Every structure is written in C-alpha cells, then in structure tokens.
A and B are shown apart, each in its own frame.
Chain A
C-alpha cells in the first residue's frame, strides 16, 4: 500500500514535469518571440519613428519577397543563447526604466544614432548574411572586414541600414 503510493507519487511528479516543461518552454519561447517584434517594440510611443522607418526599409519587409527581420535580429547579440538572454534582460530592464522613470521625449536620437555600433550587433547581421564571408572576395571593404584587417562594425559603413527615412520620422515626431 505504502509502496504503491510512493510509485504513484513518483509517476505523478514525472508526469507533471513532462507536462510542465514543454508548457514552460513554449511560454518562454513565445514571450521571447513576441517581445522581439516591431509590434511589441513599437507599443511604446518613443519607438514609433524607428518602427515606421523600419517598415520603409528592405529589412522591414519592403522588398519583393516580403521577408523581414525582427528588431532583436539586429539589436541583440547572437553569439550564444546565454549572451542573448542576458542582453535581452538587460536591455529590457533598461528600456522599462527609461520609459517609466525618465522623460523619454528628451532623448537625443540623433546623438544616439551616432553611437549605433553599440546597439547593432554584427553577430545579428551575420546570422542572416551567413554566406557573406564566403562571397566577399573582390569586395574590398568586406574582404578586409572578414580578414580582421579593419576594426569596423557593419553599421560603421551601413549607417542607415534597417531604418529608411528615419531622419524624417524623427523630425515629424518632434513636431507632432
């Protein structure tokens, strides 16, 4: 009798774990996915010019194939899952803090754009442009980038990438 209860208890726990693990996994995965979209990021007023400019750009789906990158594809490091999660947590807390406790209308976005290399990650770019290294021969700047002879980030050269007309949208928000 006692033995039976024990077995039942163990089986019950295992069953519960087997049931809960995928559920928690799915929940975490879904929330990571959801909080990576321009729809989520654009739900804060301050991000709207960035999202509008994103929709105008090739990376925002304005291309014949309609493929689009998510915000976090470029704006989080993709070295490995741990770094990714850590950076996501850190930037999420940072953005929440800024939105709740500071006057975000006072942010100088033009100055922020100048330091874009700090928040656009080459590991993100190369996640999609994975064959760029292999085809960079003869393209002087890319060749040097991959051989490590220059110390430049993707966005040092591709300054406006991902956000077409951003200047314009920032301006219109300023006078909205």
Chain B
C-alpha cells in the first residue's frame, strides 16, 4: 500500500517534469525562428512608437545612443511621447531644418530647437507659470544692459575680432541663455548654440528653457526636485545658493540621507514624510500642504535679494526685478515652513532675516552709494570702472558680498551671512571710506 502510493507519486512527479521540460524546449524553439529575422529592440521601454519615430530611433540609436537611451528610460517614452512630438515643426517656422545631410528620406519637417510652446502642448500650466517668473528674463536682461555688453566684449573679450564673445559663450549664456540664431538650414549657429541657459530666446521669439532643470532627454521630475538641479547656476561668489543650502540644517539632512527619500510623488503630493528636509524645489515651488505647486520661482519671495538695494516685491512684470508680491509671497513661504516648524520659530527666523536685509540696505548700500554719487559729482571716478579701486569695491559690495549676506540670512546659512557676508562688507566699506576721503581731500584720484 505504502510503496504503491509512493510509486504513483513518483509517476506524477515524472509526468510533471516531462511536461515542464517539453514546455521549456518548445518555448526555446519558438524563440529560435525570431532570432533569424532580428528586429533590433533599441527602445525596450518605449510605447506607442509610430513608424516615423521608429525610423528616427533606428538611426539615432547608432548615431546618438545616449539620447535614445535617455529618452527610452523617461516618462515620455513610457507614455508614447516620441521624437516627432517635440521635434516636428511647421515649414514656416524659422527653426525648420532644411536640406539636412542624412535626412533626405525624412518627410516630416523637423526642428532641432524645441521651444517652450512645444512642452506647453501637454504642460501648459507649468509653462505659463514659468513665463511669469524671474527666470523668464534671464537672457533678456543680459542682452538689454549696455554695461554688461561692454564688460563681456570690451573688458573681458579685449575687443578681439572673433574672440570677444568667448566669455559670453562659455560663461554667461550657459546659465542666462541667449538669443539663438539659425543659419539658412535652420541649424543654430556656433556663436549662439549650444546654450543650457534658462532664458533662451528662440528664433520665433519664444523665451524659456525647460531642459535646464529637467535635462534632455529624460526630463525627470526626480532630478528637478534635487538641489543639484539648481546648483549648476545658483553657485559661486555672487549667488552661492547651493553653498548656502549646504550650510543649512536642511542641507545637512539632505546630504546625509537624501538618497533614501521618495522623489517621484505626484506634483502637489510631495510632502514631508517623503523627505526629512526641504530642497530648493520644496520651498520655492512644491505644492506642500494646501499650497498649489508653481513653476513661478518668484512667487514665494518677499525681497529682491540680488539688486543693489533690496526692496519688497510688487510687480506682475517678469522683466521687473521686483516681480512677485511681497506679502502674499511671504505668507506662502511661511505656509511651507509651518509644515515642520512652529510659529515661534518661523516668526523669529524671518524677523532676523529681515533685519539683515535692512542692515545691508541702510548700513552698507546707502553710504556706499552716497560716496559714489559724491565722487561722481566731483569727477573723481575713473572712466573705466574695472580699473578703479573704489568702483570695484562698490561692485563687490552689492554684487558679491552684499548678496551673500542677504541670501545667506534669508536662507539660514550662518557662514555665508557672516564670514562671507557682513564681515567682508565692513572691510569693503572701511576701504571705500579711505579712498573716498583721500579723493575728496586731495581732489585727485590716487596714482596708479
């Protein structure tokens, strides 16, 4: 009886094994004929590829595999947003590519440049908010300022034919953006492209660049929420915002455990709990608590903290340095803070920060400006501001040290508010006073 049941068990196990082996073999042999006519899978994660898109990808997977792989891992690929959805344009567009080598058999009218209106086809709200923000004027303001153009081409570029744009091409425009020009084929010119700047002005007049924070071709929300997305521009001696962030307790927490946080929550639902400390995007943009997410980075600001003197914001014009509304902005920012902090802490924090702004305005900028005006009235300033000790100090006072003190104070970074900020400010001011007194007493600019 016992051995009988064992035998039948063995029989069943045997049958099952044979069936499994047969299934395995048949599945292998079923795959085999496919291998004879291989269809190259270049974008395994992508959905909804049209024939035209497949044609793009089959070449570009060879020519620019990085682009294809980037895109293939993106939400765009997952949701069927393919090459032509962004790179197809109308024949009358100034950006339309014409007679491009290697594209002879492409019927669609293509554009290499992708302006924000293309992104707005799906992300309309975000693009509109961006266009109302200070980011919008990034290139327009550089272009409009004569003093800036003189600095770039004359002082830095040495007026050297063909070379005087180098500082702008490798510097300014990589953050600020540039008016992009195209040649007769619709290809952007080497003087004006590539630019990774946020305020790019396209040949059709559109302004903006979404790919600064959501880099090509993965366009990731996770990436843009990390401080590094802002850091490639908001750094250095004149607006060390990433260094300021690192100097804060928020930055400390991010640095020690940020890699474990949840970065892909939907907009409006990325909340404390997903993270233990805010990043740039949390405070300036995210829909934390009852707040609506916004791509207008100026919206939650009270002060202009970068101009020569700081004033409360009160303008709807993105071209104004005062774009935003101080009281509403501060109220929103306090709502962000209140997700984790008590009213006592929040009120105390902003009271101190506001004091620092006023100290800069009244204690440093006002006297510096008064001395500058006096010297100017008496003709005691050099024509070349960049060779004049007084004017150089004046520039550093507001543009470097003054911003570090103000932004450091507003964003909770003690080292930047103090040692890189107010400490240097008093040194600047004393030195300026010495030069001022000498010039006023002797009636001459000091000898070289």
User: Are A164 and B48 interface neighbours, CB within 8 A?
Assistant: no
What mask results when residues 133 to 176 of chain A are scored 1 for a CB within 8 Å of chain B, else 0?
Answer: 00000111100110001111000111110011111101100000
Using known A-B contacts A140-B81, A141-B81, A144-B80, determine if residue A167 contacts B48 with beta carbons closer than 8 Å.
Answer: no
Q: How near does chain A come to B271, taking the closest CB pair, in angstroms?
A: 4
Q: What number of residue pairs across chains A and B have CB atoms under 8 A from each other? A: 71
Interface residues of B in 324-366 (CB under 8 A from A): none
User: Are B79 and A152 interface neighbours, CB within 8 A?
Assistant: yes
Residues of B contacting A141 in the complex (Cβ-Cβ under 8 angstroms):
79-81, 122
User: Are A159 and B266 interface neighbours, CB within 8 A?
Assistant: yes
Residues of A contacting B269 in the complex (Cβ-Cβ under 8 angstroms):
159-160, 163-168
Interface presence of B252 (CB below 8 A): no
**Bound form: Cα–Cα A141–B74 in Å:** 14
> How many chain A residues touch B (Cβ–Cβ < 8 Å)?
24
Residues of A contacting B443 in the complex (Cβ-Cβ under 8 angstroms):
none
User: Are B47 and A138 interface neighbours, CB within 8 A?
Assistant: no
Question: Among the listed A144, A163, A168, which residue makes an inter-chain contact with B79, where contact means beta carbons less than 8 Å apart?
Answer: A144
User: Are B78 and A152 interface neighbours, CB within 8 A?
Assistant: yes
Question: Among the listed B48, B49, B267, B271, which residue makes an inter-chain contact with A171, where contact means beta carbons less than 8 Å apart?
Answer: B271
Residues of A contacting B50 in the complex (Cβ-Cβ under 8 angstroms):
149
Interface presence of B66 (CB below 8 A): no
**Bound form: Cα–Cα A151–B75 in Å:** 13
Interface presence of B158 (CB below 8 A): no
User: Are A160 and B79 interface neighbours, CB within 8 A?
Assistant: no
Q: Of all chain B residues, which has the CB nearest A57?
A: B268
Question: Among the listed A159, A165, A166, which residue makes an inter-chain contact with B289, where contact means beta carbons less than 8 Å apart?
Answer: A165
User: Are A168 and B47 interface neighbours, CB within 8 A?
Assistant: no
User: Are A139 and B121 interface neighbours, CB within 8 A?
Assistant: yes
Q: Of all chain B residues, which has the CB nearest A148?
A: B48
Interface residues of B in 265-313 (CB under 8 A from A): 265-274, 289-290
**Bound form: Cα–Cα A149–B269 in Å:** 29
Q: Which of A141, A156, A159 has the most CB of B within 10 A?
A: A141
**Bound form: Cα–Cα A144–B46 in Å:** 13
User: Are B273 and A167 interface neighbours, CB within 8 A?
Assistant: yes
Residues of A that sit less than 8 Å from B by CB: 56, 138-141, 144-145, 149-152, 156-160, 163-168, 170-171
